[in-house]
Amino acid sequence: MGENYGVQAQAHQLLGHKTETPRKYDNALTRTLRSCKYDNALTRTLRSCKYDNALTRTLESCKYDNALTRTLRSCKYDNALTRTLRSCKYDNALTRTLRSCCFIPQRYILGVMGLLGVCNAYTMRVCLNLAITQMVKRNKTDGTHNVDPYACPIDEVYAIFDWDEPTQGLILSGFYYGYAATQVPGGYLAEKFGGKWTLGVGLLSTALFTFLTPAVINIGGAPGLFILRVLQGMGEGPTMPALMIMLARWVPPHERSFQGALVFGGAQIGNIFGSFMSGILLSEGRDWAYVFYFFGGFGIFWFMLWSLFCYSTPNTHPFISKKELSYLNKNVTTADNKSKKDPVPWKAILRSAPAWALVWAAVGHDWGYYTMVTDLPKYSHDVLKYNIAKTGTLTALPYIAMWFCSFLFGFICDLCIKKKWHSIKTGRILHTTIVGIKGRAVRNPVSTIVCV
């Protein structure tokens, strides 16, 4: 009852009627409304509205965006009027056109763009692993190495750098120093400023650094390339934290398995596409610089699409449909960034045996995975003596196997749980064990092919 009286009092103030409103209703909101000189459908409706129910019904359909509505949305008072005003959507020729053209739900567009973003991140990560085989001179007269006379001939037209193996290893590892350093800060920035720009600006910086790699190498040599790779890693560090925060704010709980598989499957697609395309771009004696121009340009193009179509939350999306916005607001529960968070139980986490088991399982997985990502191209090219085109294809094979097996074993695990053949906990332990025992054979088909 008191809330309705407050809305009626504010409506009377808008209309200029005298009322016995208590002093507490004279605040920044009502003063702004009274002093507003804009004359449009919104202000005319406000001045002509006499009932609090008519006022709220009218404001619910309001789509205008100007200084008045922006001021109202920023108002920190919380009552029926301000809550209704904050729900107003932007409306102009561009947003009306985009809303009418975008028949695909925006959360699925976010999923596809997230997949392309992760794919883009991994292509820029792995492209140097193949390109470096064509950048560095190899001493063919070194008596400590056996040269296979039947090996495929290797063109080294653009191999102009005399970097020894330790230097190459340091350059290839530089990315991960920066990558590890910005994981936690990236999550904080995504929470504070939104995932859209945290992820977008991070990947844009990596794309620009990738595009500039040939110039930096020519100017700074190996030290310059190492510093550049560290900066690239720092740009990619916020990728996963920002994506997780955005998915939590966009995807209903019953859709998160599908959306998660869609978005994070981009990692394997990026490894496949990056390795295969690098092999093609480097084949037939082409300049290794083309690899960096291609993937850097792809990253810049992705950023332009990301800036246009993706937003941090549904409520900040300018051309999301009202139906989808209402659906997401009802089904997705998100934490208020400004509310007081519960303290993190660091002591309990550090004393938890399951938490440490997960940490060491992740360390073991990443050790093998990133060793393969970094060193498999050089092994195939320098040791097995494959040409660069075949090296790119063979390097992509483990990731094709991983992508296929992720769906296969996911289906098997879900089926076993559905049939009650084992519990969820047993399924996790069983399939993790399978990965540990069989992972090397699945991840490294090159060695298997050579042995056969």
Instruction: Return the SS3 of 136.
Output: strand
The domain limits of the chain are: 2-88, 106-451
Angle at 13 between CA 12 and CA 16, to 5 degrees: 90
Of 255, 209, 244, 304, nearest to 108 by C-alpha is 255
Of 381, 366, 367, nearest to 446 by C-alpha is 381
Instruction: Return the SS3 of 345.
Output: coil
Residue 132, judged by CB atoms within 10 A of its CB (0-12, 13-18, 19+), counts as buried
Residues 114, 247: contact at Cβ < 8 Å? yes
Residues 388, 133: contact at Cβ < 8 Å? yes
Is pTM beyond 0.85? Reply is no
Residues 432, 365: contact at Cβ < 8 Å? no
Residues 317, 311: contact at Cβ < 8 Å? yes
161 phi and psi angles, rounded to 5 deg: -110, 140
pLDDT confidence of residue 398 = 85
Of 354, 359, 353, 364, nearest to 433 by C-alpha is 364
Domain spanning 106-451, CATH architecture:
Up-down Bundle (1.20)
pLDDT confidence of residue 171 = 93
- Give me the average pLDDT of each 10-residue run along the chain (452 residues): 47 46 53 62 57 50 55 52 48 58 81 94 91 79 48 58 89 92 91 91 95 94 94 94 91 82 88 90 88 95 94 87 87 63 85 90 84 85 82 86 78 80 80 62 35 28
pLDDT confidence of residue 379 = 85
pLDDT confidence of residue 443 = 43
| Residues ≥6 apart with Cβ < 8 Å to 143 | none
pLDDT confidence of residue 24 = 45
